[in-house]
Amino acid sequence: MTVKVAIGGATGRMGSTLIELAQIDKEVKLCAITDTKDNLHDTQLQKLGIPFTDDLTKHFDVFDVFIDFTRPEGTMKALDVCMQGEKSLVIGTTGFNSEEYTNIQKAGDKIPIVCSPNMSVGVNLLYVLINETVRNLQKINDIKVIDKHHKHKVDAPSGTALKIEEVLRHSLKETPNKDTEVTVDSIRAGEDIGQHTIDFIAQDEKITLIHEASSRHAFARGAILAAKWLATKKTNNKGLFTMSDVLSDT
């Protein structure tokens, strides 16, 4: 089965990476790309020979799944478009406020959505390792999360760091370490793609878990996997899913 995808933010860092990988994936057909009107002059993207637009509503007939790694305001627009066209949506954008995330949750009642702050397989494995560490390490005094990204990243803490904190607090509730202090610090400097470090400081010992993305391909591969999953596994099932759902059913 070939999955027909459209990709948002085509001129951005993640958009470019998604386009690159979609073009070489034999199970994916890149059918449309979008960006803001000011960016539609990109001649290299025009040469792809597919719709390059700021209005995807004119091209509902060419794609099944939309992949969006833009900014919250761009994702809200993509959400409206996909609901209007009854299309599936993969969201890798972060930095949503509570109202925006509520809109995503409500949209899950109408269309299939995969939304995760980090699409990489490695980070989703990290969540599992965090839970195992909390369950098995005795007398944890402090837990420190350090989120390091390039200087251009808008949100701090990152969506991944916030998810790590959520996983930590949920896991801690089930252990004698439930009152352990969790702190999150963010660093925005240089061109680091993304690194998350978790220090578990216990009595007489320390465990450190680190995930570092060496390429944006890690996020793009996960997003494309999610798009395939939506197309092949959940076509008739509305709902809001995460990468954990994708990986447990792949």
Tell me the chain's radius of gyration from C-alpha atoms: 19
Furthest CA-CA distance within the chain:
62
Of 77, 149, 211, 234, the active-site residue reads 149
- Residue 61: burial class (beta carbons within 10 Å; 0-12, 13-18, 19+): exposed
Of 144, 153, 217, 233, the active-site residue reads 153
Contact 11, 45 (CB under 8 A): yes
**Cα(11)–Cα(29) distance, integer angstroms:** 19
**Cα(107)–Cα(113) distance, integer angstroms:** 8
DSSP state of 234: S
Q: Which residues, including other chains, have CB under 8 Å from residue 163's CB and lie 6 or more apart?
A: 116, 117, 118, 127
Q: Which residues, including other chains, have CB under 8 Å from residue 42's CB and lie 6 or more apart?
A: 10, 11, 35, 52
Q: Look up 41 and say whether it is catalytic.
A: no
The two three-digit tokens of residue 34, written as one number: 């979008």
Q: Look up 59 and say whether it is catalytic.
A: no
In this structure, the strands spanning 195-202 and 140-149 are: antiparallel
Residues annotated as catalytic are: 149, 153
